Amino acid sequence: MQPENTNLQAPWLDKEAENAETIGGDNASPDFKQVVEEGLQRRDLIKGLFTGAAIAASGAIAAPTAQAAASTGLTFKPIKLSKGNDYIDVPEGYDAGLVIAWGNPVTQNAPEFDPTRQNGVNGSQQFGYNCDMITYHSLPAWNSTNSRRGLLCVNHEYTDPVAMFPSYTTPTKDQVDAELAAHGVSIVEVEEFFGVWQYNANSRFNRRLTGETEMLITGPAAGDELMATSVDRTGTRVRGTLNNCAGGQTPWGTMLTAEENFNQYFGNRATMPTGVNRDNMTRLGTVGGATARRWESFYDRFDQTKEPNEANRFGWIVEIDPYDPNSIPKKRTALGRCKHECATTTIAKNGQVVVYSGDDERFDYLYKFVTAGTFNPDNRAANMDLLDRGVLYVAKFNSDGTGQWLPAVHNQGPLTMANGWRNQADVLIRLRQAGDALGATKMDRPEDVEVNPVTGLVYLACTNNTLRGVGASPGVDAANPRANNRSGHIIEIKESGNDHTRDTFNWGIFMLCGDPDDKAQGTYFAGAPREKVSPIGAPDNVAFDNQGNLWIGTDGMESALGWHDAIYACVTEGPDRGTLLPFMSMPIGAETCGPTFTPDNETFFMAVQHPGEGGTYAQPTSRWPYGSGTIPRPGVVFVKKSWGRGTVGS
């Protein structure tokens, strides 16, 4: 249900600029001020971009935390941001509880966690390390909306061996195997009893997918010469998935998980054959010599000199059907290869499915994929290979608030044989270079993307880019308006005609994150005044509730602003647009990941990633979640209203 005050249109689409004279504050950097002023001037031309209030507007007295306005639809009392607390804080009237943590048994008959007995066999039966994305899939069926029982799909981004193992210098084979097993995905059945979520260790759905699980390569790049290795000359089968960051859930009930910083696992680029493949690996940042992890010491596939194509089989979106424990995951190459942060789906008006994905690197791009076929709500099987055919686009943000989706399609624009592009597989495998050739806009680390379920507007979190405008790096532009962008920003996009299949759009800055009292950096909260917002830095994972409030999780707020990472709820429409309320803070060293709601919005799940980051096994800096005498263990948490019932946030 809509909050009473919500109108259904983003203010920047129909309101004129106001208060332009206070843009950026007195101390805003010249670059920042100029770019934003240009943005506001052009707004007159396109009839409204930002809402009324100015960037870093005026000198309202800072309140310690924002206060919920009764009219926002958000009724919780915001928490105070944390410094030094080694626990999770949630608002009064809410409870948080642990669902599952690193090492807990997942598959039937899995051993209990013993940090002194870590190896590939044990690890591949237990919950992995550094949980990131969460999707909730109702049981009993993909199209049910049960909010009390379902499958949690959780991915495991990376391992931190000095925190995991009692001793770690040069890794042993058991340690490497334990790390491979601690990557990937866990699927566990979960159920709520009287307001408390628990996982069922005996469910037949429970499953571990690791860095060693066999997966299929599908779509245009399957079988290409750059995908073939000595072990798989067909270029269609690959072992495992690595560095899964955010992801998404399809309308047909599968999980999409995005391979992000896969480059770090592949060493010895400097001695691999020169040419197109090596140049592309350089663009993606695989390791020139020995990797820090040294997996190549035990497995040739991580040595690019021995297996120059193995790294081409990573950096994809992987689709997994959690309802079928025997299903084989598929790397969907039609969606391209980069450091995918996420894979967010929406159904366009005509039934085509659109998948948004950011490439999380300084000065890299935002992508979207539009399926050729349409979603069939009556026949699940008919949707299962929708992601193998369609058109992939990369975003260009123009300074006048318009934008284009440029097709990354072979033989279109510069992507021709004459320019060295062999075929569509080549375009997809070398997607970043295709984006370079197309002239896409170099962004400040595109992380998660979400579509507002009420308005259809698309939100992109750009987490930060401290190299913007520094030295020879690209300077500021309209969509990335801050030099040395420590705190990041959020962009709001409206597809032309609110049709997600179109190749043009309009956009505006929704939020320039930071401390609203920091006039030097300058902040902007979609027009909300100081007393309705809070410091926020490094937005990363985002989610929408059913009412169209944007939930924002941070990764790196401590280095940006000194506060622990936190989750916020933000109003996107109506008179309280921009109101930003802290909802949840993390224990020491942890990042917020995977925010997601059950269909009824009465439960909020999130992943606590890398608690105690920077510490070691012998000298942990956090004891979350098990307390005194234990090592920190990444885990999944649920949040509900006390006594278990009621919509989270309102």
CB 187 within 8 A of CB 128: no
d(CA 27, CA 32): 10
Task: From 149, 151, 154, select the one nearest 101 (Cα to Cα).
Answer: 154
Nearer to Ca ion, 438 or 593 (CB): 593
Told to check if 460 binds Ca ion by CB under 5 A, we report: no
Interface with Ca ion, residue 545, by CB under 5 A: no
From 202-210, 328-336, 424-432, 533-541, span contacting Ca ion (CB under 5 A)? 533-541
444 belongs to the binding site for ligand FEO (CB under 6 A) = no
Kindly state the smallest distance separating residue 242's Cβ from ligand FEO, in Å. Answer: 12
Q: How many helices (H) and strands (E) does the chain have?
A: 8, 31
Q: Is 426 in the site for ligand FEO (CB under 6 A)?
A: no
Instruction: Kindly tell me which residue out of 160, 259, 321, 447 binds ligand FEO, with binding defined by CB under 6 A.
Output: 447
What is the pairing mode between strands 390-397 and 255-259? unpaired
Q: Which residue, 203 or 592, has its beta carbon nearer to ligand FEO? A: 592
Pick 396 or 610: Cβ nearer ligand FEO: 610
Per CB under 6 A, the list member of 89, 260, 364, 576 interacting with ligand FEO is 260
Burial of 4 (0-12, 13-18, 19+ CB in 10 A): exposed
Find tokens 């450091």 and name the residue.
Answer: 339
Query: Scanning residues 230 to 269, which ones bind Ca ion (CB under 5 A)?
Result: 245
CA distance linking residue 137 with residue 343, whole number of Å: 16
Does residue 189 touch ligand FEO according to CB under 6 A?
Answer: no
User: Which partner from the list Ca ion, ligand FEO, none does 448 bind, CB cut-off 5 to 8 Å by kind?
Assistant: Ca ion
Shortest reach from residue 245's CB to ligand FEO, in Å: 3
Q: Who's near 337: CB < 8 A, 6+ residues apart?
A: 221, 312, 315, 316, 428, 429, 430, 431
Q: Give the contact letters, 283-322, x = binds to ligand FEO (CB under 6 A), - = no.
A: ----------------------------------------
- Mask for 513-552, x = binds ligand FEO (CB under 6 A): ---------------------------x------------
Burial class (CB in 10 A: 0-12, 13-18, 19+), 519: middle
CA distances in angstroms from 622 to 56, 114, 198, listed in the order given:
35, 19, 24
- Residue 54 binding target from ligand FEO, Ca ion, none, CB below 5 to 8 Å by type: none
Given 555, 558, 576, 602, the residue binding Ca ion (CB under 5 A):
555
Quick note: the x/- pattern for ligand FEO over 341-360, rule CB under 6 A, is x------------------x
Tokens 């334990």 sit on residue: 178
Q: How many Cβ atoms are within 10 Å of 643's Cβ, its own excluded?
A: 10
Q: Which two tokens stand for residue 104?
A: 């807990």
Least separation in angstroms between CB 66 and ligand FEO = 26
> What do you get for the CA distance between the two ends of the chain, in Å?
11
Minimum CB separation of residue 488 from ligand FEO in Å reads 11
| Pairing status of strand 94-101 against strand 635-641 | antiparallel
Q: How many residues bind ligand FEO (CB under 6 A)?
A: 7
- Shortest separation between residue 490's beta carbon and ligand FEO, angstroms: 15
Phi, psi (rounded to 5 degrees) for 241: -130, 140
| Min CB(118)–ligand FEO separation in Å | 23
SS3 content of the chain, % helix, strand, coil (to 5): 15, 30, 55
Shortest distance in whole angstroms from residue 132 CB to ligand FEO? 6
SS3 121: helix
Are 39 and 478 in contact, with CB atoms under 8 Å apart? yes
Q: How far is the CB of 596 from ligand FEO (least distance, A)?
A: 16
The amino acid at 142 = W
Q: Is 540 in the site for Ca ion (CB under 5 A)?
A: yes
- H-state helical runs in 244-302: 276-284
Comparing CA positions, the residue from 12, 87, 101 lying closest to residue 51 is 12
The residue sitting closest to Ca ion, measured at its beta carbon, is 555
DSSP 57-114: -TTPPPPSS----GGGS--SPPPPP-SS--S-B--TTEEEEEEEETT-B-STTPPPP-
Among 245, 284, 557, 567, binds ligand FEO (CB under 6 A): 245
Q: How far is the CB of 558 from Ca ion (least distance, A)?
A: 13
Q: With CB cut-offs between 5 and 8 Å by kind, which of Ca ion, ligand FEO, none does residue 260 bind?
A: ligand FEO
* 53 is a contact residue toward ligand FEO (CB under 6 A): no
310 binds, among ligand FEO, Ca ion, none (CB under 5 to 8 A by kind): none
Q: Site residues (CB under 6 A) for ligand FEO?
A: 157, 245, 260, 341, 360, 447, 540
